[in-house]
Structure 1
Amino acid sequence: VGSSSMDIRMEVVDAAGRECLVSHFLFVARNPFTQTSQRVNPLRVESAEDREMFEERGQWAAARKARAQAQRGDASVVGKGEEGAAERRERWIADIMDKSQVAQDMPALVPSGWVWAHDTAHENILMCQPQQRNMAGRIFGGFLMRRAFELAFSTCYAFAGTRPAFLLVDDITFRRPVDVGDLLRLKSHVLHVEHKYNPGPPWLGAQTASHAVVHVAVTAFVVQPEKPSSHVTNTFQFRFAVDNNAKPLKAVLPSSFAEA
């Protein structure tokens, strides 16, 4: 618990007591009259287990704030661990863009088994209705998450050629509110494919000792044709597991640094 935020953990277990799902939800308290942050009651941490979880989520929250500030251009707040992750990401982007450049300049010499990221793209567009609003009169965030998940799942399904199994939500950002009557455009594409040499999660039901992890990104835009204007409201990143028994998945190459 922060001054006006709550980090809530939810666990789902089966009848045998085995852990099936762990989710963390971050809620922010808002005053409905002043539209400002609302202080919440502090949390009393008593047991050693609770204290360990409290400290762990506190470190996660600090790292999350550092990433957000770094994305806004304040690099001075990034810690050593974040710097290392950023360096590894830059090296990975440089490597994948080298392969992409070869594919663009000499496509006949590139081995088969890959596809451009933009060729995996799908999108839909919808009008936001009054029944989808929350208590504040805006479009409910859960509705946006559900539509983004459905598009990401369908994108992975169409890419893999076999039904995927959901693994986890990498990241979700809410940049701007979405209002009733807004024209909402959702665009998705496959970011990356990882090949794992194990059966994967039990709910995948893989028949082989390997599976693939497919990373899918979804971006939500509010478009206003009368102006005209278009701005990003939300970004979503999901991971899905796919059984490699059906057929090996193709590698995904970005055609630009923005896609990488």
Structure 2
Amino acid sequence: MIRTLQLSTRLLRQQLSSRPALISANFATTLRGHGESTPKYTMDQVKSEIILHLGLERGYHPIPKSREHLLKFTPKPEDLPARSMQDSYTSALLPLSTDLQLQDNYVSHLGNVRMGRLMEDLDAFAVWVCHQHVNVPNLPENVNLPYTFVTILVDKITFSDLVTNVKEDIRISGHVSWVGRSSMEIVVWLEQKYQGVYKKITRALFLMAARNATNTGAAPVNPIVPATEEEKLILSGGEARKKRRQLIQAQSIFKVEPNDFEQSLMYDIYKKTTPTNTMELNKRLLPPHARWMSEWSTVTTIPSFPDNRNAHNTVFGGFLMRLALENSWTSAFLYCGKRPKLTHICDISFEKPVPVSSFIKLTSYVVYTELNYVQIMTVADVLDTTGGQVTTNLFYSTYKANEHVHQILPRSYHETMWYIQGRRKFKYALDLE
């Protein structure tokens, strides 16, 4: 039985590895000359170029300069020429080997690179790829780009086994892999030099929304016309991923009831945690090598500041990603008792913008465990001085320990729903269903 399961899992992963979603890695290698090209910009320069393209004021201004005058330049869909994926391909460098200040900002206490810092760069770089794709031929020469680009979600970030080194350069590259009327899917790679050759750290998929200059309405983007057969395959993969995302969102445990298998799982948990020698109401029994979900969470509350802002004076999505990742890592470390390895970030959603004056509360819950894996759900809430609290972001991350971990178990129906959702995210992250 176990061998059959192992073979089935291996065959499934082989099938998944040949999906159009993953072909894009070879495409990028072709574009950059088999991995030997040198990026034109550093990430610091990329951030400066974004500000320049949008015509934003440098420095912090509590009331930023109005961009309403750009609304009249919002293009119509028919005015936008088709683009290929090659048009949007770009890369940037984190020059860790030569920039000592950068090393200090990115180093962990073990000398590795802080993954949270890299999440910030991935988000900024995805915006930069949007700038490469959008082309408005009728825009007057001296007029800034009449767009705002917003991160909707980040999907399926899988980390390799490469041990990062804060003294080696990191290359970020990517391109648009699918477009809708006003949305773009961006595929981004992180690679680090290892013995003179760039090796993969991770690949991430960003879904970005194109908005008008004042972020008050959607703005159209250039369609994609594949330039090669490979681009056709990548584009078809984008369509498949869009449909899969829509299906997953429609079937969220927070929207529809658990399926038959999950209801059976819930009943098994009830039987496992209910004593047989008493009928006392709400009396629960914790089995050996198990822990209650309600007792394992990590909470951090911090104020945000202007240096955490994006180009549009709200909290930078990459900053929220870093906070959530580092908070989830703390939670996983405390739960495992030893340093865990981050293996996947299966889903990050951005529900609402966060003002730069916000108090941000991050709560990381251990919502599911299996063998030596720990699934974390991190909730980002914005607090106000009147006691109000609203959830703005949800993050799901998967960690792997060197040995089996205690089983996490829910004690209430609400916690059971989180358990079921955590299990779904875990299976999705590992491509197990």
Measured against the shorter chain, the TM-score band is: 0.7 to 0.9
1:97, 1:254 within 8 Å by CA — same for their partners in 2? no
Q: Kindly tell me: are residues 87 and 143 of structure 1, through their superposed partners in 2, closer, same or farther at Cα, counting changes over 3 Å?
A: farther
Q: Kindly tell me: are residues 34 and 194 of structure 1, through their superposed partners in 2, closer, same or farther at Cα, counting changes over 3 Å?
A: closer
Q: Mean alpha-carbon deviation: is it higher for 35-44 or for 51-60?
A: 51-60
Match of 1:137 among 297, 308, 313: 313
Asked if residue 165 in structure 1 is aligned to residue 341 in structure 2, the reply is yes
Identity %: 25
CA apart distance, 1:157: 0.4
2:284, 2:411 within 8 Å by CA — same for their partners in 1? no
Q: CA RMSD in A?
A: 2.7
Match of 1:232 among 391, 397, 401: 391
Distance 2:354 2:361 in 1: 11
* Residue deviations 1:102-155 (CA, integer Å, cap 9, x gap): 596352xx5410000121111010111111111221111111110000000000
Distance 2:240 2:389 in 1: 35
Aligned pairs, number: 230
Q: Which residue of 1 aligns with 2:413?
A: 257
Report the AA paired with residue 174 of structure 1. Answer: F
TM-score by length of 2: 0.49
Q: Which residue of 2 aligns with 1:95?
A: 268
Q: How does 1:170-181 map to 2 (within 5 A)?
A: 170-181=346-357
* Residue deviations 1:153-199 (CA, integer Å, cap 9, x gap): 0000011011111111121121221102111111111111112xxxx
2:293, 2:415 within 8 Å by CA — same for their partners in 1? yes
Q: Which residue of 2 aligns with 1:47?
A: 228
Which one scores higher on RCO, CA 8 angstroms, separation ≥ 6? 1
Distance 1:156 1:112 in 2: 20
CA apart distance, 1:40: 1.1
Asked if residue 184 in structure 1 is aligned to residue 360 in structure 2, the reply is yes
Asked if residue 32 in structure 1 is aligned to residue 213 in structure 2, the reply is yes
CA apart distance, 1:229: 1.6
1:168, 1:239 within 8 Å by CA — same for their partners in 2? yes
Q: Mean alpha-carbon deviation: is it higher for 181-190 or for 40-49?
A: 40-49
Asked if residue 6 in structure 1 is aligned to residue 181 in structure 2, the reply is no
SS class of match (2:413): coil
Q: Which residue of 1 aligns with 2:383?
A: 223
Report the AA paired with residue 251 of structure 1. Answer: Q
For structure 1, the residue ranges without an aligned partner over 5 or more in a row are 76-82, 196-211
Q: Which residue of 1 aligns with 2:88?
A: none
* Residue deviations 1:183-237 (CA, integer Å, cap 9, x gap): 1111111111112xxxxxxxxxxxxxxxx111001101112232x3211111111
Report the AA paired with residue 161 of structure 1. Answer: G
Match of 1:63 among 204, 224, 244: 244
Q: Which residue of 1 aligns with 2:170?
A: none
Q: Kindly tell me: are residues 72 and 178 of structure 1, through their superposed partners in 2, closer, same or farther at Cα, counting changes over 3 Å?
A: farther
Q: Kindly tell me: are residues 97 and 72 of structure 1, through their superposed partners in 2, closer, same or farther at Cα, counting changes over 3 Å?
A: closer
TM-score by length of 1: 0.78
SS class of match (1:188): strand
Q: Mean alpha-carbon deviation: is it higher for 2-11 or for 18-27?
A: 18-27
Distance 2:296 2:376 in 1: 10
Report the AA paired with residue 3 of structure 1. Answer: R
Distance 1:38 1:66 in 2: 25
SS class of match (2:356): coil
1:222, 1:232 within 8 Å by CA — same for their partners in 2? yes
2:273, 2:287 within 8 Å by CA — same for their partners in 1? no
SS class of match (2:181): coil
Q: Which of the two has greater strand per residue?
A: 1
Q: Mean alpha-carbon deviation: is it higher for 120-129 or for 32-41?
A: 32-41
Report the AA paired with residue 413 of structure 2. Answer: F
Distance 1:145 1:46 in 2: 34
Q: Kindly tell me: are residues 70 and 30 of structure 1, through their superposed partners in 2, closer, same or farther at Cα, counting changes over 3 Å?
A: same
Q: Kindly tell me: are residues 46 and 88 of structure 1, through their superposed partners in 2, closer, same or farther at Cα, counting changes over 3 Å?
A: farther
Distance 2:223 2:189 in 1: 22
Q: Kindly tell me: are residues 168 and 136 of structure 1, through their superposed partners in 2, closer, same or farther at Cα, counting changes over 3 Å?
A: same
Q: Which residue of 2 aligns with 1:214?
A: 374
Structure of higher CA gyration radius: 2
Q: Kindly tell me: are residues 29 and 97 of structure 1, through their superposed partners in 2, closer, same or farther at Cα, counting changes over 3 Å?
A: farther
